[in-house]
Amino acid sequence: MTETTVIPVSGPPAYDVLVGRGLLADLSAVLPPAAAKVLVIHAPPLAAKAEALREQLAGRVEVLLAEVPDAEGAKRIEVAAFCWQIMGQTDFTRTDAVVGLGGGATTDLAGFVAATWLRGVPVIQVPTTVLGMVDAAVGGKTGINTAEGKNLVGAFWAPAAVVVDLDLLEGLPQNEILAGFAEVVKCGFIADPAILELLEADVTVATDRESPVFRELIERSIRVKATVVSDDFTEQGRREILNYGHTLGHAIEHAERYRWRHGAAISIGMVFAAELSHLAGSLPAEQVDRTRRILASLTLPTGYPLGRWKTLLATMQRDKKARAGMLRFIVLDDVARPRVLNGTDESMLFAAYQEVGE
């Protein structure tokens, strides 16, 4: 096993994100001492790993397995009810613990199930994708979707620990890894320019999951997220900067009926946000070019059909209305200098989109 990096997140409640290799084999080290049962919520491709976990923890705790649909199919009330049923039938108590083993959708569901059972039981998040490691599993946003939209039901529920075992990325298609890197790029632009320099130095090495640079990028991105959510767990202010590129990105995901990878939509959203930052703020043009160059080096898309603007704008306006707010964007005054842009006029938004449209 390689050395483990510990990245603390302040609370309340405080917890650690552990980053290393082979960590799943030692999960008992992070289980709450009082837990007698553990419910492992996992997607079908992780069945063998969940079973291995059951064998590993046998004797220490009773392990229950809840296999849930892959990807967004997990984030449904019926799936949460299936997990609650297992917990009800096994007298799952407040000192027992949930483990979320999977990508962002699985850990969102597992966090939600943990947040709601008996008004809250501990959850240990074990992300198995880059997106999950650097974003979804850290920070305690949990939730499910409804017919009306994504993440409309949920809770802020901090995990007891997050275990980032880089060995769990083995076997993932490289385009899945690259899509997760959109969030890594985001962390570079909003807070940590060293991330951008490492990507620019050699993107092949940076995205090789065996390389130390890959690990450094994952750790740096987690540190960005950990710092932000330590300051503002419930998104009263600073946490909003994590939405850089996401306002348009979410509208593209909606337009594509959620068949696109999140990272691909966010990639286009970041190009738009960079153009808007140039028009509405002081982001130098070379940083807009740099945004495109880095995303393209990761084979992520940087353009979207020009004719879709009206639909995208309507979706963004509807989303914001649901939160009784104005259309808000995170823009950069420079690299690592994000701020909120409020009430922007539509002509400026369209001007920025024209640079994205193809």
Instruction: Please give the residue ranges that form the binding site for ligand GLY (CB under 6 A).
Output: 135, 139, 141, 239, 242
Which lies closer to ligand GLY via its Cβ, residue 11 or residue 44?
11
Q: How far is the CB of 336 from ligand GLY (least distance, A)?
A: 18
Which lies closer to ligand GLY via its Cβ, residue 64 or residue 136?
136
Residue 356 is encoded by which pair of tokens? 């994205």
Distance CA(332)–CA(231), nearest Å, equals 19
Which lies closer to ligand GLY via its Cβ, residue 92 or residue 233?
233
Which lies closer to ligand GLY via its Cβ, residue 141 or residue 223?
141
Residue with tokens 């999951």: 209
Q: How far is the CB of 121 from ligand GLY (least distance, A)?
A: 21
Which lies closer to ligand GLY via its Cβ, residue 38 or residue 179?
179
Q: How far is the CB of 139 from ligand GLY (least distance, A)?
A: 4
Distance CA(221)–CA(195), nearest Å, equals 8
Q: Which residues is 338 bridged to in the sheet?
A: 332
Q: How far is the CB of 269 from ligand GLY (least distance, A)?
A: 13
Distance CA(249)–CA(175), nearest Å, equals 18
Residue with tokens 């914001």: 320
User: Which residues 6+ apart lie within 8 Å of 303 measured at CB?
Assistant: 268, 271, 356, 357, 358
The single-letter code of the amino acid at 201 is: A
Which lies closer to ligand GLY via its Cβ, residue 27 or residue 138?
138
Q: The sheet that has 97-102: what strands, in order across it?
A: 5-9, 15-20, 161-165, 123-127, 97-102, 37-42, 62-67
Q: How far is the CB of 272 from ligand GLY (least distance, A)?
A: 18
Task: Tell me which residue of 46, 53, 146 sits closest to 102, measured CA to CA.
Answer: 46
Q: How far is the CB of 284 from ligand GLY (least distance, A)?
A: 26
Residue with tokens 């104005």: 326
Which lies closer to ligand GLY via its Cβ, residue 201 or residue 322?
322
Q: How far is the CB of 183 from ligand GLY (least distance, A)?
A: 8
Q: Which residue is nearest to ligand GLY (CB)?
A: 242
Pairing of strands 141-146, 149-156: antiparallel
